[in-house]
């Protein structure tokens, strides 16, 4: 029985040594894999940093272009709104002149002086022509805007 215990102890020690040896081997393998993973991560991070650095100008340019387009469109929209307000004001002024013209023609008709219409209404007619030209100009500007 003593011998069996001694043999058991020897077998236990041998198994312990094998386990310790296997543990060392596994630990070394894990360290080796860990080191390999670290190197791959470092290389990957460096490659990613280079790629970001290379693409940054293109991304920046695309963003600037987009921002530029938005600013241009905003400016064009403001210009369009301003032109429409100006056209409405000019049309209102024209309507008032036409009303005045109608009143003056009616007055001349009542006085039997219609043959003198052009001479008496020359200023009103000139203003009407001027307003018509200005309205056409504003409408042409609107057609030239890139947002219409």
Place of tokens 């309205």: 135
* pTM as predicted: 0.48
Distance CA 137, CA 72 (A): 22
Residue 145 is classified by DSSP as S
**Residue 106 has what pLDDT?**
81
Residue 25's pLDDT is 77
DSSP result, 90-108: HHHHHHHHHHHHHHHHHHH
CB 136 within 8 A of CB 94: no
User: Using one digit for the tens of pLDDT, what is the confidence trace for 40-62?
Assistant: 777 877 777 777 777 777 767 77
88-106: pLDDT as tens digits: 999 999 999 999 988 888 8
């Amino acid at each position: 029985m003593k011998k069996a215990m001694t043999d058991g102890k020897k077998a236990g020690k041998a198994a312990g040594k094998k386990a310790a040896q296997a543990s060392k081997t596994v630990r070394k393998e894990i360290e080796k894999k860990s080191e390999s993973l670290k190197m791959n991560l470092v290389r990957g991070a460096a490659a990613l940093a280079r790629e970001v650095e290379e693409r940054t100008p293109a991304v920046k340019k695309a963003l600037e272009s987009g921002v530029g387009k938005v600013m241009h469109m905003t400016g064009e929209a403001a210009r369009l709104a301003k032109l429409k307000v100006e056209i409405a004001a000019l049309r209102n002024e024209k309507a008032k002149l036409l009303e005045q013209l109608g009143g003056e023609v009616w007055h001349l008709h009542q006085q039997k002086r219609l043959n003198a219409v052009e001479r008496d209404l020359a200023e009103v007619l000139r203003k009407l022509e001027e307003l018509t030209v200005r309205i056409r100009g504003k409408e042409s500007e609107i057609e030239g805007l890139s947002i219409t």
